[in-house]
């Protein structure tokens, strides 16, 4: 058993050590892969939830504001009145008892809401038959991570105002047709 027995033991020990090392490497790579996959899933889920919150929050508020405005514009059109000079948005009533500084902040918030939209009442007059004009649109697109960026718009077809949510590419195409200069 002498020299050859010790060599077999050494070979067996080395083989066992190599197998153990290989198992550890596989375990490390498996764990790293699992961590990366779980992290990727968490990122995608958080992005999807952020999109959903945007859709429920500011994007829904934008749609409601423009639906209100489209209703007021339609009423004025049906009565034969000219388009109002500013987009008719719903006004939040001022809380009673505001200090002068709070009153100014309230008025600034109302102005910010109006400046959130670009309103082009003159496009109503320049409308050719069979065409639809963009009368009002969000100045900034609604940025979504997992879906196309979108903008709410008020469209006018010569008889009726309606609110639509256009993809950014479609919005830019229609705006270019109407000669609307966008940044």
Output 50 or 28, whichever has higher pLDDT. Answer: 28
- In three-state form (DSSP H/G/I as H, E/B as E, the rest C), the secondary structure along the chain is CHHHHHHHHHHHHHHHHHHHHHHHHHHHHHHHHHHHHHHHHHHHHHHHHHHHHHHHCHHHHHHHHHHHHHHHHHHHHHCCCCCCCCCCCCCCCCCCCCCHHHHHHHHHHHHHHHHCEEECHHHHCCCCCCCCEEEEEECCCECCCCCCCEEEEEEECCCCEEEEEEEHHHHHHHHHHHCCCCC
- What are the pLDDT digits (tens) for 42-97? 988 887 777 666 656 677 888 888 999 999 999 998 998 888 888 888 876 767 77
Indicate yes or no: pTM above 0.85.
no
């Amino acid at each position: 058993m002498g020299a050859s027995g010790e060599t077999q033991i050494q070979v067996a020990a080395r083989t066992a050590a190599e197998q153990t090392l290989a198992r550890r490497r596989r375990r490390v790579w498996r764990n790293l892969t699992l961590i990366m996959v779980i992290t990727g899933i968490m990122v995608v889920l958080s992005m999807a939830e952020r999109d959903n919150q945007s859709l429920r929050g500011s994007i829904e508020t934008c749609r409601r504001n423009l639906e209100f405005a489209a209703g007021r514009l339609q009423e004025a059109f049906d009565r034969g009145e000219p388009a109002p000079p500013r987009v008719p948005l719903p006004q939040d009533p001022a809380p009673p008892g505001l200090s002068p500084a709070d009153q100014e902040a309230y008025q600034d918030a109302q102005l910010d809401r109006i400046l959130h939209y670009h309103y082009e009442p003159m496009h109503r007059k320049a409308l050719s038959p069979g065409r639809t004009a963009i009368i009002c649109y969000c100045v900034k697109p609604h940025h979504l991570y997992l879906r196309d960026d979108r903008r709410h718009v008020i469209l006018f077809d010569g008889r009726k105002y309606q609110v639509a949510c256009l993809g950014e590419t479609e919005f830019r195409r229609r705006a270019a047709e109407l000669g609307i200069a966008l940044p």
